[in-house]
């Protein structure tokens, strides 16, 4: 059974999708053992408590720089004996001291079709604002491994939705969450725990 540690910063709807999937028995060979939040006000912490999952708050604001913050995150991940780390709406780009310690063991959900609308500065609603500004007709979400470059690790899965003429960043975000993020993230996590994701030449393949 793999220990899954989920990192959050906000509302935690992706965390909820993982909790619900685990309750339905859809996370095979994995268990969410801890939630780490970068903000003490994150509603995701409530969701963890309601599900009986221990949580730890490591506030970004308490550290002078990203490196020292990431070192503290690394210490906690090691203490938790994490086998898989899931960034579920975690809004901080971790230093390579974390990504190097867990190669192909950190999974992120990004709310756009990488390589579009991604990288530094593209997070949360801002991603959807940029997609609408550009005028794309299709958007979606990407589940990918995390490496030392922002949103540049091997892609595991992607899913799409149509962009409607009257979309706002909020309506587009909601459609992508409901139709892609909340479905694909638990699926990718289960596949990882079952050992069904392999990496060859820097690309990820799902063994179906």
| CB-nearer residue toward ligand GAR: 52 or 121 | 121
Q: How far apart are CA 83 and CA 45, in angstroms?
A: 21
Helices (H), the chain: 13-23, 43-50, 66-79, 96-101, 125-134, 169-176, 182-193
181 forms part of the interface with ligand GAR (CB under 6 A): yes
Nearer to ligand GAR, 12 or 30 (CB): 12
Residue closer to ligand GAR (CB basis): 129 or 194? 129
Looking at 13, 55, 139, 190, which residue binds ligand GAR (CB under 6 A)?
Answer: 13
110 catalytic? Reply is yes
Answer yes or no whether residue 140 interacts with ligand GAR by CB under 6 A.
Answer: no
Per CB under 6 A, 88 contacts ligand GAR: yes
Count CB-CB contacts under 10 A for residue 101.
16
CB-based contact 68:98 (threshold 8 Å): no
CA distance to 84, 90, 125, per residue, from 117 (Å) = 26, 17, 11
- Interface residue list for ligand GAR (CB under 6 A): 10-14, 88-89, 109-111, 123-124, 127, 173, 177, 181
Q: Which residues are catalytic?
A: 110
């Amino acid at each position: 059974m793999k220990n899954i540690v989920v990192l959050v910063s906000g509302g935690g709807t992706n965390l909820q999708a993982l909790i619900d999937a685990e309750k339905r028995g859809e996370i095979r060979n994995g268990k969410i053992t801890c939630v780490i939040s970068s903000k003490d006000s994150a509603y995701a912490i409530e969701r963890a408590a309601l599900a009986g999952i221990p949580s730890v708050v490591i506030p970004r604001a308490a550290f002078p720089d990203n490196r020292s913050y990431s070192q503290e995150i690394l210490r906690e991940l090691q203490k938790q004996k994490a086998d898989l780390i899931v960034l579920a709406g975690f809004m901080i780009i971790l230093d390579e001291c974390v990504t190097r310690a867990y190669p192909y063991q950190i999974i992120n959900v990004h709310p756009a079709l990488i390589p579009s609308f991604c990288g530094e500065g593209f997070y949360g609603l801002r991603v959807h604002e940029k997609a609408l500004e550009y005028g794309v007709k299709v958007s979606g979400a990407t589940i990918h491994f995390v490496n030392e470059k922002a949103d540049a690790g091997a892609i595991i899965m992607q899913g799409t939705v149509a962009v409607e003429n009257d979309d706002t960043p909020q309506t587009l975000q909601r459609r992508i969450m409901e139709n892609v993020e909340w479905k694909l993230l638990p699926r990718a996590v289960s596949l990882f725990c079952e050992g069904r994701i392999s990496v060859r030449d820097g690309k990820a393949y799902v063994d179906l």
